[in-house]
C-alpha cells in the first residue's frame, strides 16, 4: 500500500470518527481521544510482537492472565518498560465491547482501569518516569464524551472501531508516520483554535525532516540528539527515521512545558520503537528549570540539537536578576527581552551544544533585524563565530500561521568566518496546496545541497564574511545579503513607442471611416 493511499485512509477514518462524536466533543479536544486510542492499539501490537517473537505457535491474546509467570512479567517490564496482560489488549477489549448491550457496557471504566494498570506496571522500576501519566489526557470518563455512561461508551466505541479498522499491517511497516499524520490532519481541520498556543506552532513533518537533516549533516556519529522545546517529538523522530540507529548512539532527549504534548512525545517514542532506556523526555520550563544539566556535563554537550521553540513568548528575563549570571546567558552580556524569549532559547541551545555538533533552530524572522538587546546578542554570536547559516523558508508552511520562518544553524567548530545566507522562499522550493504550502523531498534536498555548498547562487545563496555583517550593523536578515530576483517585465521603449504610434494611426483611420459613414447617413 502506498503512502498516499495509507494517508487517505487514515484521514477518512479520522473524519468518520469525528462525525460519530460531533456535538459532544470540541473539535480540538477530540484529538486526545483519537491519538490516545491510536496509542493504545499500537502499544498493544508492539507488546504482542515482542512476546510472540515471530513464533506462529504462540498466541498471546488467547492466553489467560493467571498463566503469566511472575518472573517472566518482571523480565518483560525490565526490557520493555511496561506490561500488558492478554485481557488488557486492544483487540480483546474491542471484541468484548461489541457484544455488550448498552446497559451492561463498562467500556469507559474498563479502559480507565487498563490504562492505570499499564502505568502501574512500571512503578518501582527504571522506566517508571517514562511511563507515568502516559494516558493522563485520555480521560475515558470525561463529561466531554457525554452526560451519561451509555453516551460515553457509544462514542468511545465509535473511536475504538475507527482505530480498529485502520488496516496498515504491522505498525513498523507503515509507509507513513501514523501519529504525525493523524496530528497534522486534526490540526489542519481545526486550525482556527489548534496548533498554536502562546507562540507555539506544530512543526509539519517535512519541515522536521529538513531540520533533522541540517543538524546531522556531515556527522558520522552523534552522541545524543536534543530538543529543548520538543512538543510532540516530531523533530527527534525525524532524526530517527532519516538516519541509521547507530548514528545516534546514546539516545533522544527532550523537554516540553505543555503537559499534553509532553505525554504525546513520550507516546511517540514508544510507538516508534525507541525503548524507554533510549529516550528521556522531561516535563518543565526549559528556560527556568533546564532538565538536562547533569547530562550535558557528562556528555560535554550534545552533538545534534533540533528545535522549533515558541515564537516571541514572555519569559522572566530581567524580572529575575540572577539570570544574567546564568552560564547560558552570561556570555552575551545581556538577557533577551522579557516579551521575546527567542534569543533566550538560542543561547540555551548554544550552551548545550558540543564542540563538534550543530544546532538547527526554527526562528521568527524579526529576531534577525530588531535592535536593542537582540542586536547585542546577534553581535555576540557573530563575533564569536557561532552562526553557520540563516535560511529563509517559504511562507504558509505551518498550520495556523502564514509566517515565513527562518532556520538558524549554529556550530562551534566552523572552519572560516563566513555565514551562509539562503533564500529558499521562492516557488521553486515548495508545492502549493489547498490550505498550506508543502516542502517535498526534492525541495529539502535542494536546500541541504545549498547549505553544504560554499558557492554563490544568484538570488538564492551567498556566503558573507563577518566584516561585512559588522558593517551592516549585525543585521542577519537573508534579504539584506541575497539579492531578490527582479521579476519585472523588461520593456523595449522603442518598440513600445512604435506600437503606440501604430495604434494611434489605426484609431485615426477608424475615426475617419466612422465620420464618412455618418455623413452618408445624414445626406
What is the rounded CA–CA span in Å between residue 252 and residue 229? 13
Distance CA 312, CA 346 (A): 12
Give the per-residue pLDDT at 195: 46
Q: What is the mean pLDDT of residues 200-209?
A: 80
> What is the average pLDDT across 208-227?
94
Residue range 12-31: average pLDDT? Answer: 66
Burial class (CB in 10 A: 0-12, 13-18, 19+), 433: exposed
pTM of the predicted structure, to 2 decimals: 0.85
Statement: residue 193 has pLDDT above 50: no
> Which tens digit of pLDDT belongs to each residue from 487-507?
566 777 888 788 888 888 888
pLDDT at 192 over 50: no
Nearest to 446 by CA among 464, 466, 432, 425: 425
Contact between residue 40 and residue 112 where contact means Cβ atoms under 8 Å apart: no
What pLDDT does 371 receive? 94
Q: Which residue has the higher pLDDT, 105 or 474?
A: 474
The whole-number pLDDT of residue 380 equals: 98
Q: Provide the percentage of residues in the chain whose pLDDT is more than 90.
A: 53
Q: pLDDT tier at 3 (50, 70, 90 boundaries)?
A: low
pLDDT tens, position by position, 228-267: 999 888 899 888 888 876 788 788 999 999 888 898 889 8
| pLDDT at position 194 | 45
- Distance, in Å, from the CA atom of 93 to the CA atom of 126, rounded to the nearest integer, reads 28
**Residue with the three cell numbers 489526557:** 137
Model confidence at 362, in pLDDT bands (50, 70, 90)? very high
Q: Are strands 406-411 and 353-363 parallel, antiparallel or unpaired?
A: antiparallel
pLDDT at 462: 96
Q: Positive or negative, the Cα torsion across 374, 377, 379, 385? A: negative
- Tell me the C-alpha distance between 246 and 253, whole Å: 16
Write down the H helix ranges in 202-280: 205-216, 234-242, 259-271
Residue 143 has pLDDT above 70, yes or no: yes
For the ranges 130-139, 367-376, 443-452, 483-492, which has the lowest average pLDDT? 483-492
Question: Binning pLDDT at 50, 70 and 90, where does residue 174 land?
Answer: low
User: In the predicted model, what is the mean pLDDT of the chain?
Assistant: 87
Q: What is the pLDDT of residue 179?
A: 63
Using the Cα atoms of residue 215, residue 221, residue 227 and residue 231 in order, give the sign of their dihedral: positive
Check residue 495 and give its pLDDT.
Answer: 83
- Burial of 9 (C-beta count, 10 Å sphere; 0-12/13-18/19+): middle
DSSP string across 392-455? EPPSS-STT-----EEEEEES--SSSEEEEEE--SGGG-EE-SSSEE--HHHHHHHHHHHH--S
Section 473-477 average pLDDT: 96
285 pLDDT exceeds 90?
A: yes
pLDDT for residue 323 is more than 60 = yes
What per-residue confidence (pLDDT) applies to 149?
87
Amino acid at each position: 500500500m502506498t503512502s498516499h493511499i495509507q494517508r487517505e485512509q487514515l484521514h477518512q477514518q479520522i473524519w468518520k470518527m469525528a462525525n460519530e462524536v460531533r456535538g459532544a466533543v470540541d473539535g480540538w479536544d477530540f484529538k486526545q481521544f483519537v491519538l490516545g486510542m491510536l496509542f493504545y492499539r499500537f502499544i498493544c501490537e508492539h507488546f504482542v510482537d515482542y512476546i510472540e517473537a515471530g513464533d506462529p505457535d504462540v498466541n498471546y491474546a488467547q492466553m489467560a492472565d493467571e498463566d503469566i509467570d511472575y518472573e517472566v512479567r518482571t523480565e518483560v517490564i525490565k526490557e520493555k518498560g511496561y506490561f500488558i496482560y492478554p485481557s488488557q489488549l486492544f483487540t480483546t477489549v474491542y471484541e468484548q465491547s461489541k457484544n455488550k448491550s448498552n446497559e451492561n457496557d463498562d467500556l469507559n471504566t474498563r479502559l480507565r482501569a487498563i490504562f492505570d494498570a499499564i502505568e502501574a506496571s512500571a512503578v518501582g522500576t527504571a522506566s517508571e518516569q517514562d511511563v507515568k501519566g502516559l494516558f493522563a489526557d485520555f480521560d475515558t470518563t470525561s463529561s466531554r464524551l457525554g452526560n451519561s455512561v451509555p453516551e460515553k461508551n457509544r462514542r468511545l466505541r465509535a473511536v475504538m472501531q475507527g482505530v480498529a479498522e485502520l488496516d496498515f499491517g504491522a505498525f513498523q511497516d507503515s509507509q507513513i508516520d501514523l501519529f504525525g499524520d493523524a496530528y497534522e490532519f486534526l490540526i489542519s481541520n481545526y486550525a482556527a483554535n489548534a496548533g498554536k498556543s502562546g507562540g507555539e506552532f506544530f512543526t509539519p513533518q517535512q519541515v522536521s525532516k529538513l531540520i533533522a537533516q541540517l543538524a546531522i549533516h556531515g556527522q558520522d556519529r552523534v552522541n545524543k540528539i536534543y530538543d529543548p522545546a520538543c512538543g510532540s517529538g516530531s523533530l527527534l523522530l525525524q532524526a530517527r527515521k532519516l538516519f541509521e540507529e547507530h548514528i545516534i548512539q546514546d539516545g533522544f532527549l527532550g523537554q516540553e512545558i505543555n503537559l499534553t504534548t509532553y505525554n504525546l512525545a513520550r507516546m511517540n517514542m514508544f510507538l516508534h520503537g525507541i525503548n524507554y532506556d533510549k529516550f528521556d523526555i522531561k516535563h518543565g520550563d526549559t528556560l527556568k528549570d533546564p532538565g538536562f544539566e547533569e547530562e550535558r556535563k557528562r556528555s560535554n554537550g550534545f552533538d545534534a540539537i533540533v528545535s522549533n521553540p515558541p515564537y516571541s513568548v514572555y519569559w522572566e528575563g530581567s524580572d529575575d536578576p540572577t539570570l544574567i549570571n546564568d552560564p547560558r546567558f552570561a556570555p552575551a552580556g545581556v538577557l533577551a527581552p522579557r516579551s521575546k524569549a527567542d534569543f533566550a532559547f538560542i543561547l540555551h541551545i548554544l550552551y548545550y551544544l558540543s564542540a563538534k555538533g550543530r544546532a538547527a533552530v526554527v526562528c521568527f524572522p524579526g529576531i534577525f533585524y530588531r535592535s536593542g538587546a537582540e542586536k547585542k546578542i546577534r553581535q555576540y554570536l557573530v563575533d564569536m563565530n557561532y552562526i553557520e547559516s540563516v535560511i529563509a523558508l517559504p511562507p504558509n508552511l505551518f498550520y495556523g500561521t502564514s509566517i515565513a520562518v527562518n532556520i538558524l544553524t549554529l556550530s562551534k567548530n566552523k572552519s572560516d568566518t563566513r555565514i551562509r545566507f539562503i533564500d529558499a522562499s521562492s516557488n521553486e522550493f515548495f508545492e502549493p496546496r489547498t490550505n498550506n504550502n508543502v516542502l517535498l523531498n526534492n525541495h529539502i534536498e535542494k536546500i541541504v545541497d545549498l547549505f553544504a555548498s560554499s558557492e554563490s547562487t544568484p538570488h538564492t545563496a551567498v556566503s558573507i564574511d563577518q566584516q561585512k555583517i559588522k558593517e551592516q550593523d549585525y543585521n542577519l536578515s537573508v534579504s539584506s545579503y541575497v539579492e531578490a530576483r527582479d521579476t519585472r517585465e523588461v520593456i523595449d521603449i522603442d518598440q513600445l513607442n512604435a506600437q503606440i504610434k501604430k495604434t494611434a494611426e489605426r484609431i485615426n483611420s477608424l475615426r475617419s471611416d466612422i465620420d464618412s459613414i455618418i455623413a452618408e447617413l445624414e445626406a
